[in-house]
Amino acid sequence: MATVFSGVQPSGDFHLGNYLGAFRNWVTAQHDNDAYFCVVDLHALTLEIDPADLRRRTLDAAVVLLAVGLDPEVVTLFVQSQVPEHSRLAWLLECTATMGELGRMTQFKEKSTGSESVRAGLFTYPVLMAADILLYDVDEVPVGDDQRQHLELTRDLAIRFNNRYGETFKVPRATIPKVGARVMDLQHPEAKMSKSVESPLGTVRILDDPDDIVRKVRRAVTDAGTTVEHDPAGKPGVSNLLELLAASTGVGVAEAADRYDAYGPLKQDVADAVVALLSPVRERALELRSDLGEVERILGAGATRAHEVAQRTYARAATAMGLVL
């Protein structure tokens, strides 16, 4: 079994793209790997946050991951700040990384330009991410393109540390995540669905109520003409609807396209399919939200399990560097 680690930002607003593109695969693969899912609340502190909001979003991220079907008996689901070795190892790795290499991180450059007071934590963000991964002797880290450079840095730091202080860390591989469907914005089908997009109508959130889902799908932009064809370049809106239908029901895209000769019925079926897909998730999430004590208990148990592994790795690294334990 491969050890796999995924870090999830504490966002309460996960959307259909997260579900069909990632979460659903995680659930399917959970029995084949030794998987860690970490809600990275410390990373969230690198940008402006409201404390009450961060608390709420951290728990809500766990609610969504449980609601989509991750089984806390099978995977280790925990909150980053509850395992103190993440911060402790990050310091050791900050003393391994250089200003130069951190300054080359494109995500840092993007997030810091134009802002007059950049937090030091935003600069060291990728080192904390390296600590997340290296603590668990991880084989594979399924990350999207935007995180590749951070993963490359993680590998560099592990190799440098091993060369300098002796074999300590397993060097992880980036894996191309098995992408599920690529879900596009319903209002701007040339762009990926994302929570940061301005158009709330274009984004179906996992926990949207069914009426909202229906409304959003009905108002989805379609393309000129009336024929239903799968042609992402020429007919991005209709193609996205067909892909949504395919991903939600398991029918093939081409077969789905053959079934319709008008946009109305296609939209109706997409709306029904997405509602059917998300309803059970929403129901479980509402149950969990009404019993946050139980969610906190699950996270506590996950942290205890993660801590056992993290402690050993941290001790190995600290000892290698000459700290007296």
Q: What is the contact mask toward ligand TRP in residues 77 to 116, using x (rule: CB under 6 A)?
A: ----------------------------------------
The structure tokens 């680690």 sit at 5
Q: Which residues are catalytic?
A: 111, 192, 195
Which of residues 72 and 177 has its CB atom nearest to ligand TRP in the complex? 177
Distance from C-alpha of 276 to C-alpha of 108, rounded to nearest angstrom? 40
Burial grade of 109 (CB within 10 A; 0-12, 13-18, 19 or more): exposed
Contact between 141 and ligand TRP per CB under 6 A: yes
For ligand TRP, the binding residue among 112, 147, 149, 268 (CB under 6 A) is 147
Distance from C-alpha of 142 to C-alpha of 245, rounded to nearest angstrom? 26
Contact between 133 and ligand TRP per CB under 6 A: yes
Min dist. Cβ of residue 86 to ligand TRP (A): 9
For ligand TRP, the binding residue among 7, 10, 177, 237 (CB under 6 A) is 7
Q: How would you classify the pairing of strands 140-142 and 76-79?
A: unpaired
Q: What is the contact mask toward ligand TRP in residues 17 to 46, using x (rule: CB under 6 A)?
A: -----------------------x--x---
Min dist. Cβ of residue 28 to ligand TRP (A): 19
Q: How many residues bind ligand TRP (CB under 6 A)?
A: 12
In terms of Cα–Cα distance, which of 162, 156, 232 is closest to 190?
232
H or E stretch including 104?
none
Contact between 143 and ligand TRP per CB under 6 A: yes
In terms of Cα–Cα distance, which of 33, 116, 49 is closest to 81?
49
Query: Segment near ligand TRP (CB under 6 A), from 3-11, 156-164, 241-249, 258-266?
Result: 3-11
DSSP 81: G
Enumerate the H helices of the chain as residue ranges. 16-18, 24-29, 41-44, 51-67, 85-94, 99-103, 106-112, 120-134, 148-165, 210-218, 236-249, 253-258, 263-289, 292-321
Query: Segment near ligand TRP (CB under 6 A), from 4-12, 109-117, 202-210, 266-274?
Result: 4-12
| Residue ranges in contact with ligand TRP by CB under 6 A | 5-7, 9, 40, 43, 129, 132-133, 141, 143, 147
